[in-house]
Amino acid sequence: MDVALVNAGPTNFELIQPVSGAVDLYRSAIRPGAPATFHHVGYRIPDFDEATEIITAAGKTWKQYGEMKGGLRFGYVDMTAELGHYVEFMDLQAVGERMFASLEAESNAAR
């Protein structure tokens, strides 16, 4: 994927362009002819395993999930029928916390 990240204070915006690899989750949501498509809203959570239990108990499954080395565990739940988009849950670890804190600090410094 090609990704551009920007923050407005603690709010993080991502522009994701699916290029190759496991990107069908992103590619399938693109509206033909639209310059951009709203795909998901993301939430930081303290415990990915607990979130998995809650999601399973609610009758849902991870549409896609993974781990970025030393940075975060994440998963997407398909809520398109209910909300019109996916919901991402992120369990940030040390590297991920520092990355998002850095983006937020740069955003705040520019004010």
Evaluate if residue 46 carries a pLDDT over 80: yes
d(CA 73, CA 51): 11
Q: 5-42: per-residue pLDDT in tens?
A: 887 877 888 888 889 988 888 888 888 888 888 889 99
DSSP H helices in the chain: 24-27, 48-57, 80-83, 94-109
Q: Which pLDDT score is estimated for 9? A: 76
Residue 105 has pLDDT above 90, yes or no: no
Q: What is the mean pLDDT of residues 33-59?
A: 92
Task: Please give the residue that has the higher pLDDT: either 83 or 99.
Answer: 83
pTM: 0.81
CATH class, 2-109 region = alpha beta
